[in-house]
Chain A
């Protein structure tokens, strides 16, 4: 009897949460979908028309912006996926493999923008690279007059995204590798006289791929519409579509809201087309003929290429580290100008000034990400429990959780803004936290849900027979068992929230700012010293989060034993 009541309540709650989640998503969607056809009743526009498509496509240079976004999304995802596999393949059989998670964690934790700034510090004509070879080799007394970055084709944007997504792909691949006996399969491949390379490609990669397909789709959607990295690394005459949306939205023209919405819809189309294109690629790659072709390629002696690939991945790794180190150095240096390779003087003034002026921002950034991740972890646990009570298997409802990651952030936020105006909602902090939840819950869910669901049924049955009710079982048995994934997901949630740019920019509306938004502003104002200090905190805070979570994890395990 009791269980029936439980079931009814659970059902109601599931429907309630699902509606709560769906309402903002739908309003965000219609918030840009309707205005893009010229329909926006509060502004007295009650008629649908296709006029704004015409206006969008007549914006100068828009076709180049669209092309840029398209190829950024495709290129960076493909390359990042490829190199993540190359790195794993080379490290799989070595001792480094055990430490790989620790090595990539800091890189993973960095906000995207930090990586972009690092690249600027290395590759601009006055950057580290030219300082290294000047003036002794090049005789450059001043930065050379060459045009390197941001390049016209968005290669640096792709590079920045690749550097940032490789660690992410490695992390999810590692998780996937744990789910099947990869070592055995790999050895089997080797014993059949296949090279490391081909064993990986033919036997292991397809298994990984199946597990990380969703993540790949998320990365495609993200990279094709990235805002913060584009602001720094994309060409500016013209920039990517995401930036064009931002610019249009900000201009004070009467029509800007409608055109921005229309561009947001086009951005969504681009992502849909990219995903379809990717699925066609999947079909081609898995085709028999292609497989034979692929085997032929792999059977060549491609020692040179393989070494080249490995060296490229190493270079990628060092680029990321070097860029970050040099931006850190800037925060503590004075008069560090071309062609000095090292700063002449070290100073802490910039650091203390920055800290004094931005203490509140640093605090609020940590606060927001803490609250967001906390709520998000709670929601994930409640959701999994509820689904468990209702015994729904592979619920389509769970797709709702991932929708926000497929709608381009910029489009969604332009849409949400229209509704915020409509509802006259004034609390910026609360609405920012709510909106951030949509971007944090999916990551919490990916990490936490599987481990919650893998708990052995025996333990639960024993607990039930001991008269423990559902809530006691959750608190006393389930949560202690999944404690380490809970902490990991909590940390990742904080990191995701901490590095969000677009939602804070739009929803915070300047009243609530975080360090990431501040860092982008500093980067655009070219203040390298302050930017260096901002970068310092951008790195320090995520690493502190990771370390403290690791510490708690250790403590908890001791306590449990």
Chain B
């Protein structure tokens, strides 16, 4: 009897050990362990310095990053150096050249703000830190990955958990209601408007991100079969699919601002042109851009935003850790802070950046839920209802083709 009990006892313990080790092997991020792992990460990150390569053209975004950096400095003693980038492609080519000379640790880039074709390029060249790292971060529990597939898909490319969603953006236009009654709300209406109002429309010069996106927007509206854009661009087969875009541009380009011979360098330069009334419409990916510019005193109070009837390009922007980042732990801690409710609410606040949060309100505590719902919207920011019509980003392979062909046709007159 006694040996029997003893046997059962041993068996139970043995089984427990087995189950436990099984759990341990299958789910390394088991809650209890995960907590410990994270403590290790925090310990490793303490006192470190990381270089965050992020587009540095907008003042409000820069000061938001500065705020986030000072918070992480206070909380975890991590120093964030914001390397202000003018074109993220440059960062990718830098990491690529580091890989080529086998600089496999201690890379110059610790964290990069990225999406779209730059991400796809990093992924195909194996320049990214391990898969699924984003799920290890404690604050990732606030993101609703299962119900929101766009958080794990970047321009149709699965992220495999190699980049953390940071914010949501949608292409939107703005105009001054004092001078224009109803703005053109489709590619065809826009063409009509441009033909009637010579010299009052322009877009940032591709390969600028917003400029290229504008071309994609027009293409999506005009292409005969939208589903083609979901798959990879096949050079000879798909070439003629771009024709509607070139036709549209052929007709309107000479009616652009400065006869289409000069373009603003980015969307911020457009704001100034709208303010001076050199042009009639501005565009941005940040849905709060017009509101921000109004509160900065750059645009008049009567400016409002709009999107096209059939919707506009929408995407998620991410942060990613390069495979040779010199300090992955500190990068993770910073990313974890960036997706915390505290950081996301500040980002969504129009006083700071106005970039919609990526976390799900339903996953938050009552206190935070309330705070998010109380957040005021800017006067010129569209409501979620207005922004309902969203267009999916084409496969990244289309971007390069559009850019190159545009530069050839309109960006380099001999």
Contact = CB atoms under 8 A, between A and B. Distances in A.
Are A and B subunits of one complex? yes
Interface of A: 42-43, 59-64, 124-126, 142-143, 145-147, 150, 152, 235-238, 250-253, 256-257, 334-335, 337-338, 357, 421-422, 424, 426, 509-511, 513, 521, 524-528, 530
B158 to A, nearest CB: 21
Nearest to A62: B412
Given A252-B93, A357-B66, A521 B277 contact: no
Nearest to B199: A145
Given A64-B413, A147-B262, A511-B81, A525 B58 contact: yes
Interface string B53-93: 10011110011001000000000000001011111011011
Given A63-B414, A237-B261, 17 more contacts: A42-B100, A59-B412, A61-B413, A64-B414, A125-B278, A236-B263, A237-B413, A252-B92, A252-B121, A253-B93, A257-B97, A337-B275, A357-B63, A509-B108, A521-B86, A526-B264, A526-B270
Contacts of A152: 261
A514 B28 CA distance: 46
7 contacts: A145-B257, A237-B263, A252-B89, A252-B118, A421-B98, A525-B266, A530-B59
B200 interface: yes
B262 A235 contact: yes
B193 interface: no
A256 B49 CA distance: 31
B84 A145 contact: no
B266 A524 contact: yes
A256 B259 CA distance: 30
Q: Name the 6 nearest CB pairs between A and B, nearest first.
A: A61-B412, A526-B269, A145-B199, A126-B276, A510-B83, A526-B272
Nearest to A335: B297
Nearest to A518: B84
Nearest to A253: B93
Interface in B188-217: 198-200, 205, 207
B103 interface: yes
A237 B84 contact: no
Contact of A237 (B118, B278, B412): B412
A62 B90 CA distance: 21
A120 to B, nearest CB: 11
Contacts, number: 138
B273 interface: yes
B277 A338 contact: yes
A251 B88 CA distance: 9
A60 B63 contact: no
A530 B145 CA distance: 40
Residue among B100, B121, B259 with most chain A CB within 10 A: B100
Nearest to B100: A43
A157 B96 CA distance: 35
Contact of A252 (B56, B96, B410, B411): B96
Contacts of A145: 198-200, 257
Given A60-B408, A142-B277, A521 B84 contact: yes
A169 to B, nearest CB: 30
Given A143-B276, A147-B262, A525-B269, A250 B100 contact: no
Nearest to B408: A60
A525 B81 CA distance: 22
B123 interface: no
A238 B413 contact: yes
Contact of B410 (A237, A509, A513): A237
B87 A528 contact: no
Contacts of B261: 147, 152, 235, 237
B407 interface: yes
Contact of A525 (B87, B90, B268, B275): B268
Nearest to A43: B100
Contact of B414 (A43, A61, A521, A530): A61
A321 B57 CA distance: 28
A60 B407 contact: yes
A509 B98 CA distance: 14
A525 B57 contact: yes
B318 interface: no
Nearest to A531: B272
Residue among A62, A150, A237, A524 with most chain B CB within 10 A: A237
A250 B412 contact: no
